[in-house]
A = this chain, B = another copy of it.
Amino acid sequence: MELYVERGFDDTTVAEIAKRAGLTERTFFRHFADKREVLFAGAAVLQELFVTTVMDAPSDLPPVEAALAGVVAGGVLIQERRAFARQRYAIIAANPELQERELIKLASLSAALAETLRRRGVADHAASLAAEVAIAVFKIAFERWVADPDHLDLPQLMRESLDELRVVTADSETGRPSTAAAS
């Protein structure tokens, strides 16, 4: 990670990463499929955390609140590793190929969230919509937070972003959500 910041992602070799970490290249490849995985190995942890948190959420929680609980648990974890999160974000922001990988991981997280909501009995499309909303909140709150991770609170920004999303999507006529398509 430090090497990516110092020298740029493209100009850092696996040999250099392994040496800095005090590992052989062989040991490195036992842990990571390639040098990109140093940055994305956390996605599996995050997904597991999303899924278990959503499954354990109170059964009467509405879909988007259950999905948000998962995302907020992820936010707590990320905030505990703020130095890593900030460095990682800077590296990814500087490299289009890594941004693509990040989009794919976010799409996987959204699919996993939707699947978990379905296992809680949420209807098919409602589950997809709630998961997409939670991931949008995750993404936008994270981008706000990472600009000043020492002073901002990521879980709180996530809750605020969901509130803001509700305001933004409120029905134009009444300022309240339409219930025409209640499921």
Contacts and interface: CB of A to CB of B under 8 A. Distances in A.
A107 interface: yes
Contact of A169 (B100, B104, B125, B162): B162
Interface in A154-183: 160-172, 176-183
A103 interface: yes
A93 B77 CA distance: 33
Contacts of A181: 160, 163-164, 167
Interface in A95-153: 100, 103-104, 107, 125-126, 128-130, 132-133, 136-137, 139-140, 143-144
Interface residues of A, number: 43
A64 interface: yes
Contacts of A139: 132
Contacts of A62: 168, 170, 172
B126 A168 contact: yes
